[in-house]
């Protein structure tokens, strides 16, 4: 009942006398948020406000808390997603929710429809500098796909072997927004930003030797890029990059 079309249909049913006001009120009584015992308040209204439902942040929550939150969210959202879920935690969640799907590399678990198809126009191109950056890159890719966007992946195209990037130049140019994930010195977004005409979202990762300072070096490189049109999210924040890319595409669709 937090999806715009579902609310519109409910209001039409009330207007036509097909649903009583009391029944409609029952459906809408947790319209803004719904408490889950004494540890959470689920923001059911978020999809209407932002276009994206609330997503469960896994670390810091017990498996029991995550289970209860998923149960509250599942009846109101076509996709329920939890991020940064370790395999041992997923095993406990699946005991109570057998249909829960796990994306191991991205550390995401989700309830998804049987046939999940892109429902938004546009394509998100996702580039990963190295294999070690893949967990963050896959977090972005899976988040985007579960949010209804088409994703094209380009893995292991870092600047240490620039020919790998250039060999995919035509395919990369076909994307409408790019997410570029890199650790070490974080140079890849600058190179990509100088080759493309679409927005570039840079994601620094915590991959690198000691002087990378757990991703701080890559973050500063990306913030200081000489290529225009690059936005930077926080270290290892693949999820945030995917949501930003989705907002860009949805805004472009509204403008059209």
Rounded (10°) angle between helices 87-96 and 63-73 = 50
pTM above 0.85, yes or no: no
pLDDT band at 244; cut points 50, 70, 90 = very high
Which pLDDT band holds residue 254 (cuts at 50, 70, 90)? confident
- Measured distance CA(3)–CA(8) in Å, rounded: 9
Per-residue model confidence (pLDDT) at position 41: 65
Tell me the range of 40-44, 70-74, 189-193 where mean pLDDT is highest.
189-193
pLDDT tens for 45-99 read 667 676 777 788 999 999 999 998 898 888 777 889 999 999 999 999 999 999 9
Mean local confidence (pLDDT), 220-227: 94
The mean-pLDDT minimum among 28-32, 147-151, 219-223, 250-254 falls in 28-32
Q: Is the model's pLDDT at 32 over the cut of 70?
A: no
pLDDT in tens, 104-129: 999 999 998 888 888 888 999 999 99
User: Is the pLDDT confidence value at 2 over 50?
Assistant: no
Q: What is the mean predicted confidence (pLDDT) over 235-243?
A: 96
CA 237/CA 75 separation, integer angstroms: 28
Alpha-carbon span 25 to 126, nearest angstrom: 43
């Amino acid at each position: 009942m937090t999806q715009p079309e579902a609310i519109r249909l409910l209001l039409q049913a009330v207007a036509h006398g097909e649903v009583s006001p009391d029944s409609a009120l029952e459906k809408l009584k947790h319209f803004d948020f719904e408490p889950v015992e004494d540890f959470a308040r689920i923001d059911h209204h978020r999809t209407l406000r932002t276009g994206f439902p609330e997503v469960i942040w896994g670390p810091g929550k017990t498996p029991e808390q995550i289970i209860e939150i998923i149960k509250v969210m599942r009846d109101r959202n076509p996709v329920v997603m939890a991020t940064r879920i370790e395999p041992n935690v997923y095993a406990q969640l699946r005991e109570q929710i057998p249909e829960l799907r796990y994306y191991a590399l991205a550390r995401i678990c989700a309830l998804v429809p049987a046939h999940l198809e892109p429902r938004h126009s546009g394509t998100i191109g996702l580039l990963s500098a190295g294999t070690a950056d893949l967990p963050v890159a896959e977090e972005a890719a899976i988040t985007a796909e579960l949010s209804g966007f088409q994703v094209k992946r380009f893995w292991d195209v870092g600047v240490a072997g620039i020919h790998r990037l250039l060999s995919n130049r035509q395919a990369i140019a076909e994307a409408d927004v790019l997410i570029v994930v890199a650790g070490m010195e974080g140079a890849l977004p600058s190179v990509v930003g100088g080759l493309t005409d679409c927005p570039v979202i840079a994601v620094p990762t915590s991959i690198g030797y000691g002087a990378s300072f757990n991703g701080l070096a890559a973050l500063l490189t990306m913030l200081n890029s000489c290529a225009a049109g690059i936005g930077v999210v926080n270290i290892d924040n693949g999820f945030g990059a995917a949501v930003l890319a989705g907002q860009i595409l949805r805004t472009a669709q509204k403008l059209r």
